[in-house]
Structure 1
Amino acid sequence: MEHHPKPAVPAIVTLGGVQILSWGGSFYLMAVMANPIIAETGWSQQWVYGALSLGILVSGLLAPWSGRLIAGSYGRVLLASSGAMMALGLVIMGLSHHLLLFLFAWLIIGIGMAMGLYDALFATLGTLYGGQARGAITGITLISGFCTTLVWPGTALLIHWLDWRGACFAIAALLCLTVLPAYWYALPAPIKPIVKTATKQRNASGDLAPALFWLLCSIFTLASVIMTAISVQLISLLQASGHSLTAALAISAILGPCQVGSRIVDIAFKRGHPIWTTFFSVGLVAIGLLLLTLYPKFALVSMVLYGAGNGLRAIVRGTLPLVMVKPEAYAIVVGRMARPALIGQALTPLVGGYVFQQFGANATLWLLCLLALINVLLVGVLKQKLPALKPKT
């Protein structure tokens, strides 16, 4: 199968920028917007955050559908349309005066997330560029690593100026104006005609052996569950470990720079097989969590290690399957693997909240450590099953 030459730097920068807007207008939105929504509407915190879980769940259920469309050479169209779908959800959200309408808005945003976040973009890049997509994926995750640093203060400013409903409309307008032209500029049209490529879809999902497929699924799902649990509960866990709220906020702020830093380091080792990046990712996460659990006073060091490992997770998600399957099968395999990871992410706040409430912070941390150590073992098993450690080009 023919592929385009590797993407140019301006295209990678554009894709990284549009991912910041897409994540900021969906997955990361509620971190800043939940409290103003609760204050104005009186809806319970459980329902407001539950709406985000609904969006993640919908995006997980639709991920294989998204992968099939991308394998049929519709990736560019799907990504370009994602901004309008997210914008529609945000407009409905801004108009919501009843909880059911608010939940429906997040169902729509969830569809947009399935169309336009990392999984869809990485699958499209793998289909368009084959092995050349690795550098682009690393570059995009490097740029979008600044997402929360930019979108949380930006969203807070919009809420301050326009209230939360006005902020929804403003973000919707921004997505409508930028997403479609950005993808149309940064992504080339597929080389193969849609009709010819679509016939390969039926066989492509069988390209990866079931044992390898489920190993990858398990590794990515555990990594996503740990990341979501830490994102939701880190401040509470740090406070329960004896840190003040100010200290907990300062420690958690180190995660963003560490994630970006680890991605810069990965660029230096881009010729190595992604299984080594995977080992570093799960290993650093496990060491960081163990250090936090056993020695809470070293929380800053533990979060530096965890942040570095988690920063590599986004790269691994795109690059490890890329060297294990044919490019024409990549989109379908990535779409199928995204489903359990996203469903796990959707359920994590509910399960994590229950464990924290019933058994306390220490039990929650030990559970996360156990999951992290299991993931290290799973990556070891995967390495044994890989026939060769030379990345495909």
Structure 2
Amino acid sequence: MSPRPEPTNFRHNGWPLVMALSFAQMISWGTIYYGFALFVVPMEEALGWNRATLNGALSVGSLVGGFCAYPVGRLIDRHGGRLLMSVGSLVASLMFVAWSQVEEVWAFYALWIGLGATKAFTLYDPVFAVVTRLFPENFRRRITIITLLGGLASTIFVPLTAFFIHWLGWRDALLALAACNLLVCLPVHAFWLRDRVVSNPPAPVHVTPELPESRGPMQRALRHPAFWGLLVSFTAFNMMASSLTFHYFPLVAERGVPQALAVAIFAVIGPCQVLGRIALLALPPMNAAVIGRVVVTVFPFAVLLLLPSGGGAILLFGFTLFYGLANGCMTIVRGTAVPDLLWRQGYGAINGAIALPGSIAAAVGPTAAALLWETGDSYGPVLWAIFGLSLLAASAFWFAVSRREQ
């Protein structure tokens, strides 16, 4: 009889490790992703750079992270995530220190190239690959827990970063963020995380030979319709989500909604994301095919609530409620779709290949929406385009499920 596929050196089936990774994810997301917007205004005042210049560095970093996703995933498939995630946390710390000393635009863009790479090394995609690799028999619930705590990153780190900036000034606040990565995330990844594939029995002779993990599964995926369905679905979703996020406030301002009310309504999205993930924990375990078909169907319905030009606060609240619930669950679908609809082998490389066009779409989405707005001087055409993207994301996902690996 094969030994039970559970870690021999993790207490309580590895849950302490999962909780430590969850906490590290909250810090990584809170510092690398959510912190940027809070530094824009003080940097404008201190350095005299315009907002387009500052945000351009963020876009460059996002593109770099997208291009790093595939090679990082492939390396995790072959060697595990301990070294890569440790390097990511260390580089993030160094980049925050460099940011605290920045005086020139070229240096700011250079350090954001480094920070963009750390996204591919430390955020959800690599940790999903690590968890799927370590716990292949029960990775779904562990990924849900990780996203549940990761979903609190903005809730905790937006006010915390604002406090640091107010108390320390923006340069020393960046040193505080560097310390968070250096003192918490780096030890978790370097000293706690291990690369043992805990579900593999010790080399039974009857195991069917397989192609090399770094090549065979990826080549097989490129010929599989479900892979292309997932790629189209997540790419369309990323463009839709980034366009909605960055154009929400101009949209509601165009409709005469007071800014305080718009902010209050938008703030509902974060708690709804967490609520959606809690609901998944409370329900019986379900795979990505079941959860995903429901989630992707909710997005077009949510966007429909934005289409009426005279829509007031009630429709806006309805949009944020349904969008937030679905978006919280979508992160889990994004992390479990590859092993559920395709296979676990080569997860990191396959997931990274899917992430690349999605990252590009997320980077260009807001700009494309702005250009579309200019053609009609109205958000009507933008919303119809976003609605079309939501339908494309839903139909492509349903197609992927229909052609999934049996």
TM-score computed with the length of structure 2 as normaliser: 0.89
Please tell me the residue identity of whatever aligns with 1:290: L
Match of 1:265 in 2: 279
Residue 270 to residue 316, structure 1, CA distance change in 2 (3 Å): farther
Task: Say if 2:296 and 2:394, in contact at 8 Å, map to a contact too.
Answer: yes
Match runs of 1:113-152 below 5 Å: 113-152=119-158
Match runs of 1:192-271 below 5 Å: 199-208=212-221, 209-271=223-285
Please tell me the residue identity of whatever aligns with 2:254: A
Shift in Å, 1:199: 4.7
Shift in Å, 1:144: 1.1
Match of 1:23 in 2: 29
Q: Residues of 2 paired with 1:330 and 1:4: CA distance?
A: 19
Work out whether 1:282 is the aligned partner of 2:299. no
Work out whether 1:341 is the aligned partner of 2:358. yes
Q: Residues of 2 paired with 1:81 and 1:142: CA distance?
A: 24
Please tell me the residue identity of whatever aligns with 1:110: G
Q: Aligned pair count?
A: 386
Let me know the Cα RMSD of the aligned residues: 2.3
Task: Indicate the larger mover: 328-337 or 250-259.
Answer: 328-337
Please tell me the residue identity of whatever aligns with 1:335: G
1:118-155 deviation per Cα after TM superposition (whole angstroms, max 9, x unaligned): 11111111122214211110111111111111111111
Q: Residues of 2 paired with 1:36 and 1:214: CA distance?
A: 43
Report the structure, 1 or 2, having the larger helix content: 1
Q: Residues of 1 paired with 2:35 and 2:239: CA distance?
A: 19
Q: Secondary structure at the match of 2:218?
A: helix
Task: Say if 1:223 and 1:313, in contact at 8 Å, map to a contact too.
Answer: no
Q: Secondary structure at the match of 1:55?
A: helix
Q: Secondary structure at the match of 1:97?
A: coil
Work out whether 1:60 is the aligned partner of 2:66. yes
Q: Residues of 2 paired with 1:302 and 1:354: CA distance?
A: 24
Residue 158 to residue 276, structure 1, CA distance change in 2 (3 Å): same
Match of 1:376 in 2: 394
Aligned with 1:350 (options 351, 367, 371): 367
Q: Residues of 1 paired with 2:283 and 2:250: CA distance?
A: 36
Residue 332 to residue 270, structure 1, CA distance change in 2 (3 Å): farther
Q: Residues of 2 paired with 1:363 and 1:36: CA distance?
A: 34
Q: Residues of 2 paired with 1:41 and 1:280: CA distance?
A: 47
Structure 1 residues not aligned, in runs of 5+? 389-393
Work out whether 1:307 is the aligned partner of 2:324. yes
Shift in Å, 1:267: 1.9
Residue 345 to residue 46, structure 1, CA distance change in 2 (3 Å): same
Aligned with 2:55 (options 49, 54, 67): 49
Q: Residues of 2 paired with 1:173 and 1:124: CA distance?
A: 24
Match of 1:164 in 2: 170
Q: Secondary structure at the match of 2:80?
A: helix
Match of 2:341 in 1: 324
Residue 357 to residue 11, structure 1, CA distance change in 2 (3 Å): farther
Residue 276 to residue 170, structure 1, CA distance change in 2 (3 Å): same
Shift in Å, 1:230: 2.0
Match of 1:367 in 2: 385
Shift in Å, 1:210: 3.5
Q: Residues of 2 paired with 1:277 and 1:241: CA distance?
A: 34
Task: Say if 2:275 and 2:325, in contact at 8 Å, map to a contact too.
Answer: yes
1:209-267 deviation per Cα after TM superposition (whole angstroms, max 9, x unaligned): 43221111111111122221222121221222231101100000000011011111122
Work out whether 1:177 is the aligned partner of 2:183. yes
Q: Residues of 2 paired with 1:240 and 1:138: CA distance?
A: 37
Task: Say if 1:142 and 1:260, in contact at 8 Å, map to a contact too.
Answer: yes
Task: Say if 1:286 and 1:306, in contact at 8 Å, map to a contact too.
Answer: no
Task: Say if 2:298 and 2:322, in contact at 8 Å, map to a contact too.
Answer: yes
Q: Secondary structure at the match of 2:32?
A: coil
Match runs of 1:97-116 below 5 Å: 97-116=103-122
1:300-353 deviation per Cα after TM superposition (whole angstroms, max 9, x unaligned): 011100111111111011111121333331111111111111111122232223
Structure 2 residues not aligned, in runs of 5+? 204-209
Please tell me the residue identity of whatever aligns with 1:13: M
Match of 2:89 in 1: 83
Shift in Å, 1:188: 3.2
1:77-100 deviation per Cα after TM superposition (whole angstroms, max 9, x unaligned): 211221111112212211111111
Match of 2:101 in 1: 95
Task: Say if 2:22 and 2:149, in contact at 8 Å, map to a contact too.
Answer: yes
Shift in Å, 1:372: 0.5
Identity over aligned pairs, percent: 28
Q: Residues of 2 paired with 1:238 and 1:266: CA distance?
A: 31
Q: Residues of 2 paired with 1:309 and 1:165: CA distance?
A: 37
Q: Secondary structure at the match of 2:106?
A: helix
